[in-house]
């Protein structure tokens, strides 16, 4: 089997992207506050970006003759993204902090995938994950700035 570790890390990414999209969507729905009109549409952009990465990662697994996880059971087994019930009582800053923490989890997974795909010699996946990582690092920076924090890319 070609690129077995790469396919496994891509499947972890698929699971995390599905779950993170749900987390962002939940905060999008439950958000309230004075910055709502600005930040509600911003989360649409975040979800669009996650959806695009999800599709590309799953398609890459198929190209590698693998099987992208596509059931809720698989997502729950593979994802390390935390979930909680919707809550109107969280502030916008608390919501963004949760999302930033989850984006850091995704960034760390992408960085692991970059190393693994390089070791296995899968340059195309490596390039894709580098682009995803760069995009997630930018989101972390932007959302951290909204929270008046540094991006903490050294975690």
pLDDT of residue 1: 66
87 band by pLDDT with thresholds 50, 70 and 90 = very high
The CATH topology of domain 4-146 is Ferritin (1.20.1260)
Greatest C-alpha distance within the chain: 53
Query: Is the overall model pTM greater than 0.85, yes or no?
Result: yes
pLDDT of residue 154: 57
Domain ranges across the chain: 4-146
Q: Among 84-88, 91-95, 96-100, 151-155, which stretch is predicted with the lowest mean pLDDT?
A: 151-155
| Percent of the chain with pLDDT strictly greater than 90 | 95
Average pLDDT for 26-35:
95
d(CA 108, CA 133): 8
| Per-residue pLDDT tens digits for 107-133 | 999 999 999 999 999 999 999 999 999
Give yes or no for a contact between 3 and 117, defined as CB atoms under 8 angstroms apart: yes
pLDDT of residue 153: 65
């Amino acid at each position: 089997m070609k690129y077995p570790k790469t396919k496994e890390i891509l499947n972890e990414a698929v699971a995390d992207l599905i779950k993170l999209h749900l987390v962002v969507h939940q905060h999008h729905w439950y958000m309230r506050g004075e910055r709502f009109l600005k930040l509600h549409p911003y989360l649409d952009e975040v979800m669009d970006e996650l959806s695009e990465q999800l599709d590309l990662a799953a398609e890459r697994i198929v190209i590698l003759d693998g099987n992208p996880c596509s059931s809720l059971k698989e997502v729950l087994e593979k994802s390390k993204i935390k979930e909680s019930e919707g809550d109107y009582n969280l502030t916008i800053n608390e919501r963004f902090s949760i999302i930033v923490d989850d984006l850091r989890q995704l960034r760390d997974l992408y960085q692991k995938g970059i190393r693994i795909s390089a070791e296995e010699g899968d340059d195309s996946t490596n390039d894709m994950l580098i682009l995803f990582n760069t995009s997630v690092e930018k989101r972390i920076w932007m959302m951290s700035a909204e929270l008046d924090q540094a991006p903490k890319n050294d975690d």
